[in-house]
A and B are shown apart, each in its own frame.
Chain A
Amino acid sequence: MSDVLALLFGGVLVHNLVLVHLCGVERVAAIAPRPLHAVLALGLFATLAAALVAPLSWTLEHLLLQAPVLSTLRPATALLASAAGVGALHGGMRLAPAALRALWRRQPLPAAPDAALLGVALLAPALARDPAQALLFGAACGLGLGLVLVLFAGLQTRLAATQVPAPLRGAPLALLSLALIGLAWAGLAGIGDRL
């Protein structure tokens, strides 16, 4: 049970993809102010993708990369796993019910795997002990990404209504605020490691 909690807590907060491992910063910093339900959909789709990528990557890692000399291939298998996960999600959405498909058309994930999913593919084999744990950890990572997306879409909505000095408008302020939140997030480091 404490394993489950540690994986959940670890995936969502302690090993937060964006704020701790700096994966997917470009997606979060570029997010436009949009209504909450749109960002929630984006976060949940990202969760599905991450839950597909993580066990795939874990399996590839433990089937192929057991010999020490092969570990240099890890980026390649991670890329393969994340591409396969996104591809599976894109394929699966074609078979989804019409309402879900309409939602997906409005908030699709990019067809190519982004840094966030690559981060999941690299983290899951390192932190999970079996495929089930990888699945749980992947889903938790996706939820963590969704959390930051919601946080930032809200922040951008507020910023759109304020007067920001011209040199800071847009990406600079997004990166600065991301860095500050990331610093605060560092206080969570290590929690759950000894659960």
Chain B
Amino acid sequence: MTATLLAAALLLGLVALGLGALARRAGADVDLAARIDAVLPQTQCGQCNYPGCRPYAEALARGEADIDQCPPGGDAGAHALARLLGRVPKPVNPAHGTPGPRVVALIDETTCIGCTKCIQACPVDAIVGAPKLMHTVIAAECTGCELCLPPCPVDCITLVPRAADAAAVPTRSTA
């Protein structure tokens, strides 16, 4: 009986140790959303059906979203997410959009009527301008999310391939 009790205590002790290790790991997962966010392209384009990259990262950390919802990240981005989360890698789901080269928005300044609608649509405040004055895009801030295209009443915005010398991936400000 003593030996059995000892063995049971030992076994349950090991179970407690295992749970402790898992609990510490889960505690470390509080910043999992931040680590996922660091992998995402920060286009804030909303193609994943979440309002931006951080909400998508939080949904991934909670296990609610799938890793194949980010077209700007491309298949490489989905693969990086799979590695980070320990899931099976898979390509980007075409239902969310097709991965393509990085682009930047360009406003045709002779056509722009200064309606400010694209300024309100831009998720990263990369368009400057004022009512009835010409607008322009800050290329270094533009993520190429295409969210400014639908609201423009005169279709003066086009997407052009990002210049090679510009940063390939927009970096987030440290704020």
Write the residues of chain A forming the contact surface with B, with a CB cutoff of 8 angstroms.
1, 3-4, 7-8, 33-37, 40-41, 44-45, 47-48, 51, 97, 99-100, 102-103, 106, 130, 132-133, 135-136, 139-140, 143, 157-158, 160-161
The A contact surface, by secondary structure, is helix
The complex places the Cα of A8 from the Cα of B23 at a distance, in Å, of 26
| Residue from A8, A41, A136 within 8 A of B19 (CB atoms) | A41
Write the residues of chain B forming the contact surface with A, with a CB cutoff of 8 angstroms.
1, 3-5, 7-8, 11-12, 15, 18-20, 22-27, 63, 85-88, 90
**A103, B19: Cβ atoms closer than 8 Å:** yes
Q: Which residues of the other chain, B, contact A140 by a CB distance below 8 angstroms? A: 11
Q: A40-B18, A135-B8 are in contact. Are A103 and B26 (CB under 8 A)?
A: yes
**A102, B15: Cβ atoms closer than 8 Å:** no
The complex places the Cα of A37 from the Cα of B18 at a distance, in Å, of 10
**A135, B23: Cβ atoms closer than 8 Å:** no
The complex places the Cα of A135 from the Cα of B86 at a distance, in Å, of 35
The complex places the Cα of A135 from the Cα of B11 at a distance, in Å, of 10
**A47, B15: Cβ atoms closer than 8 Å:** yes
The complex places the Cα of A8 from the Cα of B15 at a distance, in Å, of 14
| Residue from A3, A37, A161 within 8 A of B90 (CB atoms) | A161
**A35, B87: Cβ atoms closer than 8 Å:** yes
| Residue from B20, B23, B87, B90 within 8 A of A102 (CB atoms) | B23
- For the complex formed, measure the closest distance between the CB of A20 and the CB atoms of chain B, giving whole angstroms: 20
**A100, B19: Cβ atoms closer than 8 Å:** yes
**A7, B19: Cβ atoms closer than 8 Å:** no
Q: A37-B22, A44-B18, A100-B19 are in contact. Are A8 and B7 (CB under 8 A)?
A: yes
**B26, A102: Cβ atoms closer than 8 Å:** yes
**A157, B88: Cβ atoms closer than 8 Å:** yes
Q: Which residues of the other chain, A, contact B23 by a CB distance below 8 angstroms? A: 97, 99-100, 102-103
**A135, B5: Cβ atoms closer than 8 Å:** yes
**B27, A102: Cβ atoms closer than 8 Å:** yes
- For the complex formed, measure the closest distance between the CB of B143 and the CB atoms of chain A, giving whole angstroms: 30
The complex places the Cα of A161 from the Cα of B89 at a distance, in Å, of 9
| Residue from A8, A37, A102, A130 within 8 A of B1 (CB atoms) | A130
Q: Which residues of the other chain, A, contact B15 by a CB distance below 8 angstroms? A: 44, 47-48, 51, 139, 143
Q: Which residues of the other chain, B, contact A102 by a CB distance below 8 angstroms? A: 23, 26-27
